[in-house]
Amino acid sequence: MQLVVNNSQPQTLLDLRAGESGLLEAIDLPEDHATRLMEMGFLPGTIVTPGCTAPGGCPRVFRVGGSEVAIRCETAACMRITRTI
């Protein structure tokens, strides 16, 4: 029997790479910011996949609910996910 301990930090949208996807778990932002993101389709329980990235690395595009949305890296870092690959 083998015991596996997961000491890793919570995953965020920034941790997703091309070809991966994640299940959005929570948005750790003030209510008005979180509400705006939810209006754009970033609802907890939704699958999110990364799209293209600006040349400097920010903003990043994410596909959610049939749309592509560009969000700042600071915002994406506040959106917790579970990888679904």
Q: Per residue in 48-83, pLDDT tens?
A: 999 988 888 889 999 998 999 999 999 999 999 998
Alpha helices in the chain (DSSP H): 31-39, 73-76
Distance between CA atoms of 75 and 80, rounded to whole angstroms?
11
pTM of the model: 0.81
Q: Per residue in 11-45, pLDDT tens?
A: 999 999 888 999 999 999 999 999 999 999 999 99
State whether residue 3 is helix, strand or coil. coil
CA dihedral 37, 34, 77, 10 (to 10 degrees): -120
